[in-house]
Chains A and B, each alone.
Chain A
Amino acid sequence: EAQVTQNPRYLITVTGKKLTVTCSQNMNHEYMSWYRQDPGLGLRQIYYSMNVEVTDKGDVPEGYKVSRKEKRNFPLILESPSPNQTSLYFCASSLSKLTSGGNEQFFGPGTRLTVL
């Protein structure tokens, strides 16, 4: 089954304790990205990756890191989480824009993070 998986689905942590949210897709997609969802703001892009070893900042990258060592995986790293990073996080993947401009993005199930 084609899917994007994220782990963990729920996480409660404390300020300053490093954490990683994993994201994996099995569709051989080149493009992957992370979004955060906050009430009234919709989803905003944090980071994206056009392909392996190619990553770039989205609209709200402060406080986050990513890596893309393999095509299928795109972990989101919070080196020193703060309460303002409490949010619902979504990983997404799609074919690159070079293959189809309007291709659908597939979203993971979401990770609800609470930073105390």
Chain B
Amino acid sequence: AQKVTQAQTEISVVEKEDVTLDCVYETRDTTYYLFWYKQPPSGELVFLIRRNSFDEQNEISGRYSWNFQKSTSSFNFTITASQVVDSAVYFCALRDPWQAAGNKLTFGGGTRVLVKP
């Protein structure tokens, strides 16, 4: 069975500090997909990034960067120079395309990020 753990329930920082969100996953399959979603106070889910298990190249997109390490089953997310608008709950999710439930996403419990001015 798949499992996603986000050990940090809440992180509070002052604006311009960097924030790293941890995500550790468990799956028995060799092919899988990892996602990060952002949920701002308004409640909707905003897709941030998708990574497949064969692509360990880390990525930077603006102030966001992702560190995928298959050896440690981790898919961490960093916000550089945080801003107040980054305040949200961030979810890490795993998808195993071979499971019976098809496109089901297994989510971590979420990490609430509070960026203070």
Contacts and interface: CB of A to CB of B under 8 A. Distances in A.
B45 A107 contact: yes
A12 B40 CA distance: 23
Majority DSSP secondary structure for residues of A touching B: strand
A97 B101 CA distance: 10
A102 B101 contact: no
Nearest to B1: A59
B101 A58 contact: yes
Nearest to A111: B43
Interface string B1-42: 000101001000000000000000000000101000000000
B45 A96 contact: no
Contacts of A35: 105, 107
9 contacts: A35-B107, A42-B4, A42-B109, A58-B104, A96-B103, A101-B33, A105-B47, A105-B105, A110-B43
Interface of A: 31, 33, 35, 40-45, 48, 50, 56, 58, 88, 90, 92, 94, 96-97, 101-105, 107, 109-110, 112
Q: Which 10 A-B pairs have the closest CB atoms?
A: A42-B107, A101-B97, A102-B33, A107-B45, A43-B107, A42-B109, A31-B103, A40-B109, A110-B43, A97-B97
